[in-house]
């Protein structure tokens, strides 16, 4: 009986440590909302299909559906929040051949957009 | 030269645009809309009261409601009187909007509807063109601006709801419309007559400046200086990839007339005729595949550029302030 309980607790805590769960904790709702607003204001949809935004839905760049679960940014960089926040503001600095231009935004907006992208974990 | 005071992106309230007038030429429309909405609700109340009586009222009340007198009054006299008053009053109220009020002292602009964007030609007092732009109109606040509205292909309709009512643009004719904004701000417009394919994506932007800012804006209408760095590479691509066949950039060899003038595209509030924000990202996205954003528009998708070339083009266009 005790053993089953212990295994149960371990199982639950293991479950709680899965990567997606950790991401959920990092991403707070206010940043996600601000990020989504910034994405709409900047028109990221001119090149990317965006979850929850019907139009614009561009095809020049990759769809951002389920972006939180994508291993790589632009097929070259690990999908980590610190790298992502730099990439959304100044992609050519990290991936020289990219078609994605440097986009004028504040550091706060870059962080918020990162939070929003990290919240896109539906597959 | 001090920088221009920032113009609020939107001065709109939560109200629907038709009830949110921002100048004297849209005010009568707003007044009429309020009266019609309010009157409609009052009449709805009367109908619901009559229905309640018909369902649950005493036999005496039911008999009176179904009597001949009630039918004549409620079913005939009331609609005739109300609709006649509304028609006469509405025509009187909106008669002020017609071109009869033109004094001849107004600033003049010709706006030509195209499938699916707008040419904007600023005119002097004698009706001669002073300079060309597209998809965005700059006006000073607090004074009427007279628009000569034309169409190049099919019927369009010019509508900036917070500044004036709609006015059709008809091929072969010039219709005139007065607009005025009472406060600095950005006012959105929309083609209001179905004109094919991406009609719903044929937007427009009016930017109203304080008078001194407007004078400064007018003074700064010289083409941007020659591009440097990546933008210079973009200029080269622009001239050699076919862009210049349809677009004019004053001060450069590009003199095409089929598409919007891009001399000041970098300073516009929007891209694709009032539909997208304007930055290097949306510029690149539009050039590479405008068909994904505004299906059916007359600019083909340009798939031949590599990433750096596309960014150079966006740099060049963003620098055309």
Is A2 inside any structural domain? Answer: no
> Which chain A residues are Cβ-neighbours of B308 within 8 angstroms?
96-97, 99
Any idea which architecture B102-218 has in CATH? Sandwich (2.60)
If one compares B112 and A20, the residue with the highest pLDDT of the two is B112
Counted domains in chain A: 1
Suggest the residue from B229, B268, B272, B281 to mutate for an interface test with chain A (most A CBs closer than 10 A).
B281
Do the domains B230-318 and B102-218 match in fold? yes
Is A58 inside any structural domain? Answer: yes
Q: Where are the domains of chain B?
A: 26-96, 102-218, 230-318
pLDDT at residue number A8: 46
CB contact under 8 A, B281 and A100: yes
pLDDT at residue number B128: 93
Is A3 inside any structural domain? Answer: no
Q: Which residue from B280, B293, B307 is facing A102, i.e. has the nearest CB?
A: B280
Is A50 inside any structural domain? Answer: yes
Is A93 inside any structural domain? Answer: yes
Is A37 inside any structural domain? Answer: yes
For residue B101, what pLDDT band results from cuts at 50, 70 and 90? Answer: confident
Per-residue pLDDT for B173 more than 60?
yes
Q: What's the rounded Cα separation, in Å, for the pair B118 and B259?
A: 10
Is A86 inside any structural domain? Answer: yes
Per-residue pLDDT for B92 more than 50?
yes
Residue numbers of A between 28 and 87 with CB closer than 8 Å to B: 41-44, 46-47, 56-61
For residue A1, what pLDDT band results from cuts at 50, 70 and 90? Answer: very low
pLDDT at residue number B281: 96
Per-residue pLDDT for B303 more than 90?
yes
Q: What's the rounded Cα separation, in Å, for the pair B287 and B309?
A: 11
Q: For residue A31, which phi and psi values (nearest 5 degrees)? A: -65, -40
Per-residue pLDDT for A7 more than 80?
no
Per-residue pLDDT for A22 more than 80?
no
The average pLDDT across B48-73 equals 92
If one compares B104 and A90, the residue with the highest pLDDT of the two is A90
If one compares B235 and B105, the residue with the highest pLDDT of the two is B235
> DSSP states of B101-165 as a string?
G--S-SEEEEEEEETTEEEEEEE-TTS-EEEEEESEEEEETTS-EEEEEEESSS-EEEE-TTT--
pLDDT at residue number B100: 67
Q: Which residue from A42, A57, A58 is facing B279, i.e. has the nearest CB?
A: A42
CA–CA distances in Å: residue B38 to residues A24, B35, B99: 49, 5, 29
The average pLDDT across A68-77 equals 94
The average pLDDT across B30-45 equals 94
Per-residue pLDDT for B114 more than 60?
yes
Mean pLDDT of chain B: 92
Q: What percent of chain B has pLDDT over 90?
A: 81
Query: How close A44 comes to chain B (CA, Å)?
Result: 7
Q: Are B238 and B110 in contact (CB under 8 A)?
A: no
Q: What is the pTM of this model?
A: 0.85
Q: Are A44 and A67 in contact (CB under 8 A)?
A: no
Range of the domain at A82: 28-118
List, for residues A27-61, the tens digit of each pLDDT value.
688 999 999 999 999 999 999 999 999 999 999 99
Per-residue pLDDT for B72 more than 50?
yes
Q: Are A110 and A88 in contact (CB under 8 A)?
A: yes
If one compares B22 and A8, the residue with the highest pLDDT of the two is B22
List, for residues B198-227, the tens digit of each pLDDT value.
999 999 999 999 999 999 998 888 888 888
For residue A96, the domain's CATH number is: 2.60.40.420
Nearest CA in chain A to B312: A101
> Which chain B residues are Cβ-neighbours of A101 within 8 angstroms?
280-281, 283-284, 310-311, 314-315
Is A14 inside any structural domain? Answer: no
Any chain A CB within 8 A of the CB of B204?
Answer: no
Per-residue pLDDT for B266 more than 50?
yes
pLDDT at residue number B11: 66
The average pLDDT across B21-49 equals 94
pLDDT at residue number B103: 85
Q: What's the rounded Cα separation, in Å, for the pair A116 and A52?
A: 11
Q: Which residue from A47, A96, A97 is facing B281, i.e. has the nearest CB?
A: A47
Q: What percent of chain B has pLDDT over 70?
A: 96
The average pLDDT across B35-64 equals 94
Query: What class has domain B230-318?
Result: mainly beta
Residue B283 belongs to what H/E stretch? helix B280-293
Out of A98-102, B37-41, B78-82, B90-94, which region has the weakest mean confidence (pLDDT)? B90-94
Any chain A CB within 8 A of the CB of B232?
Answer: no
Q: Which two tokens stand for residue B273?
A: 């005729």
């Amino acid at each position: 009986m005790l053993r089953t309980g212990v295994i149960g607790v371990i199982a639950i805590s293991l479950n709680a440590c899965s990567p997606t769960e950790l991401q959920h904790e990092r991403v707070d709702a206010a940043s996600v909302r601000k990020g989504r607003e910034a994405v709409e204001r900047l028109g990221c949809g001119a090149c990317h299909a965006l979850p929850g935004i019907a139009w614009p839905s561009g095809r020049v760049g990759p769809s951002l559906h389920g972006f939180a679960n994508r291993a790589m940014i632009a097929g070259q960089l690990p999908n980590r929040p610190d790298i992502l926040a730099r990439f959304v503001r100044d992609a050519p600095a990290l991936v020289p051949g990219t078609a994605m231009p440097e986009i004028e935004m504040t550091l706060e907006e870059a962080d918020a957009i990162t939070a929003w992208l990290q919240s896109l974990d539906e597959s | 030269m001090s920088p221009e005071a920032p113009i609020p992106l939107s001065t709109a309230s939560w109200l629907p645009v038709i009830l949110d007038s921002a100048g004297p030429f849209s005010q009568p429309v707003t007044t009429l809309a309020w009266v019609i909405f309010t009157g409609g609700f009052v009449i709805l109340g009367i109908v619901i009261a009559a229905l309640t009586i018909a369902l649950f009222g005493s036999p005496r009340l039911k008999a009176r409601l179904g009597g001949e007198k009630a039918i004549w009054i409620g079913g005939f006299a009331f609609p005739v009187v109300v609709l006649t008053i509304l028609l006469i009053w509405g025509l009187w109220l909106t008669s002020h909007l017609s071109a009869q009020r033109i004094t001849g002292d107004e600033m003049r602009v010709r706006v030509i509807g195209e499938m699916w964007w707008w040419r904007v030609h600023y005119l002097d007092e004698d009706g001669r063109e002073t300079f060309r732009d597209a998809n965005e109109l700059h006006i000073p606040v607090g004074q009427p601006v007279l628009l000569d509205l034309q169409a190049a292909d099919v019927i369009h309709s010019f509508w900036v709801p917070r500044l004036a009512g709609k006015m059709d643009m008809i091929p072969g004719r010039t219709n005139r419309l007065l607009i005025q904004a009472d406060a600095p701000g950005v006012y959105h417009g929309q083609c209001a007559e179905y004109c094919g394919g991406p009609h719903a994506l044929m937007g427009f932007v009016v930017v109203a400046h304080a008078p001194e800012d407007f004078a400064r804006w007018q003074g700064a209408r010289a083409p941007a200086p020659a591009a440097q760095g990546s933008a210079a590479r973009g200029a080269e691509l622009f001239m050699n990839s076919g862009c210049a066949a349809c677009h004019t950039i004053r001060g450069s060899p590009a003199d095409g007339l089929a598409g919007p003038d891009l001399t000041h595209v970098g300073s516009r509030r929007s891209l694709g005729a009032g539909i997208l924000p304007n930055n290097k990202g949306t510029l690149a996205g539009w050039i590479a595949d405008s068909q994904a954003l505004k299906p059916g528009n007359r600019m083909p998708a340009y798939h031949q550029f590599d990433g750096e070339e596309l960014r150079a083009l966006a740099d060049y266009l963003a620098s055309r302030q």
